[in-house]
Amino acid sequence: MDMGLGGKVAVITGGSIGIGLAVAKGLAAEGAHIFLVARDAARLEAARADVAASAKVRVAALACDVATAEGCAAAVAAVEKEFGGADILLNNAGTGSNETIMEAPDSKWQYYWDLHVMAATRLARGLVPSMKARGGGVILNNASICAAQPLWYEPIYNVTKAALVMLSKTMATEFIKDNIRVNAINPGFVLTPDWIKTAKQLTADSGGDWKGYIDNLAKENAPIARFASPEEIADFFVFLCSARASYSVGSTYFVDGGMLKTV
Ligand code: NDP
């Protein structure tokens, strides 16, 4: 199947590890040039080299914080300088939280709002003009199953990811006139290095069976009874970025092994 991704420029936030890195490799394999964004410069450069070694495409990166207006502006300027604009934007940078509504300070709410909602808004504002000039584009927002089915211990994550899903819907309505398709994806459990680190920490005092912890979590929550690999999730992202998904606009797709408990 020709995905129509050859020569496109894809900007991926949080592209240095996990789902973002897997999507970067998936898009590069289809011939797209890649621009990666994350904060940790050393890890980002390792990812940039890794993607560049995996396909014959141009791969550039900028270390910056997309939870700030300055970081988003720097990313947009660097994309303009390196590639003259973008065709695809994947808003993927994000992270889980752990708090109660009664105890979390306003500053924590503000940080996650900036990271999950304002980053997507600011980067879209910066990159949509070049997408428009290039004849259209794709924006994909990586939310979470928690946007619809909350985990009790992370209210701020649940709320800001739900806001990102609504942002996607409203972006889609506003941008489709310029042939820019916007969609959101709600993944379930995806076995990224961060999950492995968390599982190791949580089992350190009880024998260190982190794999058993991961297996049990999956069996308790997802009918498929396992985590996804970043690569199998990435395939779905690549499809939605491709010309083959030309009628997908303003939708939210669950990729969760059956974890969502409603229709
Ligand atoms: P990881 O923790 O593995 O990676 C997060 C990426 O985002 C890293 O590249 C990190 O790099 C970057 N990042 C974080 N904060 C910022 C920031 N302020 N500015 C720029 N970059 C930033 O995450 P996953 O791959 O697991 O998750 C990716 C996305 O998918 C997240 O939005 C997450 O909420 C969502 N998701 C994940 C699920 C899972 O089970 N893994 C399930 C559902 C949704 P650095 O720290 O160097 O900045």
Rounded CA separation 256/26 (Å): 19
Q: Is the CB of 209 under 6 A from ligand 1?
A: no
Tokens encoding 96: 């889980």
CATH code (residue 142):
3.40.50.720
CB 14 within 8 A of CB 237: no
Out of 111, 112, 153, 157, which one is annotated catalytic? 157
Domain that holds residue 251: 9-191+229-255
Q: Residue 19 Cα, ligand 1 centroid: separation in angstroms?
A: 8
Residue 263 lies in a domain: no
- What is the number of residues in the chain? 263
pLDDT score of 103:
97
Residue 220 lies in a domain: no
Residue 91 lies in a domain: yes
pLDDT score of 159:
98
- pLDDT tens profile 132-148: 999 999 999 999 999 99
pLDDT score of 75:
99
Q: Residue 177 Cα, ligand 1 centroid: separation in angstroms?
A: 30
pLDDT score of 248:
98
157 is catalytic: yes
Q: By C-alpha distance, which of 145, 10, 29 is closest to 91? A: 10
Residue 42 lies in a domain: yes
Residue 197 lies in a domain: no
pLDDT score of 1:
87
* Residue carrying structure tokens 């939210």: 252
Residue 158 lies in a domain: yes
Number of independent structural domains in the chain: 1
CB atoms within 10 A of CB 12: 30
Mean pLDDT in consecutive groups of 10 residues from the start of the chain, 263 residues:
96 98 98 98 98 98 98 99 98 96 98 99 98 98 98 96 99 98 98 93 93 97 98 98 98 98 96
Residue 2 lies in a domain: no
Maximum CA extent, the chain: 57
pLDDT score of 138:
99
> Which residue from 192, 195, 236 has its CB within 8 A of the most atoms of ligand 1, so it is best to mutate?
192
Tokens encoding 149: 């089915």
pLDDT score of 254:
98
pLDDT score of 255:
98
Predicted TM-score of the model (pTM): 0.98
Residue 85 lies in a domain: yes
Rounded CA separation 7/57 (Å): 8
